[in-house]
Structure 1
Amino acid sequence: MKLYKLKTSYTYILTNIYRTTLYVGVTSDLKKRIQEHYEGKGSEFTNKYNLKDLIYYEEFTDIKQAIAREKQLKNWRKEWKLDLVKKLNPKLETLKF
């Protein structure tokens, strides 16, 4: 029997300073990934719209769950995503990780 080490994964939401555009992503290293976005090494979309502010994230023990959640959130309307974020972060403040 092979034992697998559970690795924490994250689904996260970024926005810009004006909170007008949202980006949903997934990663196994949230701190590193957010730093990459700040350095302009994120996706073309995040660079184009200057999406650097982490406003929401969820933690998973299985990357498959994190990816499934990312796909689910990407299919949501913007207002639904904002409602989700506001439940935990009502002022849409930038989170420190």
Structure 2
Amino acid sequence: MAWVILIISGILEAVWATALGRAEGFTRLGPSIVFGLGLVLSMAGLAWAMRDLPVGTAYAVWVGIGAVGTVAFAMLTGEETVSAAKLVFLAMIVGGVVGLKASH
């Protein structure tokens, strides 16, 4: 169950990071609220998962999911360009996350 919560928390990291970018310095209410809720839920899930998982592994997986999710969403929405190099490096992050899970 800790892994499921950690994956959801990583996805929520991508949500709050994206919302933070759209909040324009907290001048836009909607994205600012999404940021706050996403941040609290993401951190709470990470903390919960760390009760059963090693801190280093949990944090690295959480960050990896959040980073890949944020970039992937930006690419899908056209906010960030897609290139072969970016896709390779994102795949490397995913490979690292999978490796950490597999070695646990």
Greater share of residues in strand: 1
TM-score when scaled to structure 1? 0.27
TM-score when scaled to structure 2? 0.26
Greater share of residues in helix: 2
